[in-house]
Structure 1
Amino acid sequence: PKEAARLAQDNGLTIAATHVAWDRFLNDLDAVIEEHLVYKCVHPAIGSLPGEYRGADGVKRFVDELGPIAEKLAQAGMDFSYHNHSHEFARYGDKTMMDMLYEWADPSLLKFELDVYWVQHGGADPALWVRKCAGREPLLHLKDMRITPQREQRYAEVGEGNLNWEAILAAAREGGVEWYLVEQDQCYDRDPFESLAISYRNLRAMGLT
Structure 2
Amino acid sequence: MRRMGIGLQLFTVRKDLAQDFTGTLRRVAELGYEGVEFAGYGGLPAEELNDLLQQLNLKAIGAHVSLANMKADLNKEMEYLHAIGARYLVCPHIADEDRQSPEAWQSLFDYFAEAGHQVKKKALQFAYHNHAFEFEMKVNDQFVFDAMYASVAPEALQVELDAGWVQYAGHDALQYIAKYAGRLPLLHLKDFKGVVNGHINTVELGEGDIDLPAVIQAGSDAGVEWIIVEQDRCENPPLESIAASYDWLKQNYLSKF
TM-score, normalised via structure 2 length: 0.74
Which residue matches 2:80? 35
Which residue matches 1:89? 135
Which residue matches 2:164? 117
Q: Match for 1:58 among 101, 104, 110?
A: 104
**Cα drift, residue 92 of structure 1:** 3.0
Which residue matches 1:4? 49
TM-score, normalised via structure 1 length: 0.89
Q: Match for 2:182 among 135, 141, 146?
A: 135
Percent identity of paired positions between Structure 1 and Structure 2: 31
Q: Match for 2:204 among 157, 169, 172?
A: 157
Which residue matches 2:35? none
Please list every run of at least 4 consecutive aligned residues from structure 1 whose deviation after the TM superposition is greater than 4 angstroms: 148-153
In the alignment, the residues of structure 1 paired with residue 207 and residue 101 of structure 2 have an alpha-carbon distance, to the nearest angstrom, of 34
Q: After superposition, where does 1:195-206 map in structure 2 within 5 Å?
A: 195-206=241-252
Residue pair 2:62, 2:81 contacting (<8 A) in 1 also: no
Which residue matches 2:120? 74
1:186–1:30 Cα change, 3 Å: same
1:57–1:204 Cα change, 3 Å: same
In the alignment, the residues of structure 2 paired with residue 54 and residue 192 of structure 1 have an alpha-carbon distance, to the nearest angstrom, of 33
Residue pair 2:102, 2:137 contacting (<8 A) in 1 also: no
In the alignment, the residues of structure 2 paired with residue 35 and residue 152 of structure 1 have an alpha-carbon distance, to the nearest angstrom, of 33
My pick for the range that moved more, 79-88 or 159-168, is: 159-168
In the alignment, the residues of structure 2 paired with residue 31 and residue 49 of structure 1 have an alpha-carbon distance, to the nearest angstrom, of 20
**Cα drift, residue 28 of structure 1:** 0.8
In the alignment, the residues of structure 2 paired with residue 151 and residue 43 of structure 1 have an alpha-carbon distance, to the nearest angstrom, of 31
Residue pair 2:159, 2:184 contacting (<8 A) in 1 also: yes
Is 1:193 the equivalent of 2:239? yes
Which residue matches 1:108? 155
In the alignment, the residues of structure 1 paired with residue 132 and residue 195 of structure 2 have an alpha-carbon distance, to the nearest angstrom, of 20
Residue pair 1:141, 1:180 contacting (<8 A) in 2 also: yes
Which residues of structure 2 form unaligned runs of 5+? 1-45
Secondary structure of the 2:250 match is helix
Which residues of structure 1 form unaligned runs of 5+? none
**Cα drift, residue 95 of structure 1:** 2.6
**Cα drift, residue 184 of structure 1:** 0.8
**Cα drift, residue 136 of structure 1:** 1.1
In the alignment, the residues of structure 2 paired with residue 31 and residue 15 of structure 1 have an alpha-carbon distance, to the nearest angstrom, of 17
My pick for the range that moved more, 198-207 or 26-35, is: 198-207
Which residue matches 2:42? none
**Cα drift, residue 7 of structure 1:** 2.5
